[in-house]
Amino acid sequence: MKKITDEDFFMKNSELSIEFSRYVLEHPEMDDILTEDKVVIFLPEFDPELKEFNLNMAKEIEAEGGKVLYIKVKQLSPKITSRLVGVEVGA
């Protein structure tokens, strides 16, 4: 079994961050909750290793006096490669 590296966790968090950005664009009421003084920490219930990694990171941030905003994520939908439907290509 491959050992998960910090880079793997970074990539997973990057994906969650991109999806969360899309979510925020669709839910403008989130702007009131998101402030520059808080670090967003994802708690993905579908990925216990990443959740534990992120909780440890959050504890370090809080121990240094930082503020954290926890975002619990139950699951991710499957990736959609394209939203195009009914494509016809003609020559």
Q: What is the pLDDT of residues 2-48, one digit of tens each?
A: 678 889 999 999 999 999 988 888 888 887 888 888 999 999 999 99
Q: Give how far the C-alpha of residue 12 lies from the chain's centroid of Cα atoms, to the nearest Å.
A: 7
45 and 72 in contact (C-beta within 8 Å)? yes
For residue 90, give both structure tokens. 């003609």
13 and 49 in contact (C-beta within 8 Å)? no
- For residues 49-54, give the mean pLDDT: 96
In the beta sheet, which residues pair with residue 40?
69
Radius of gyration of the chain (CA): 17
pTM of the model: 0.79
In the predicted structure, residue 1 carries a pLDDT above the cut 70: no
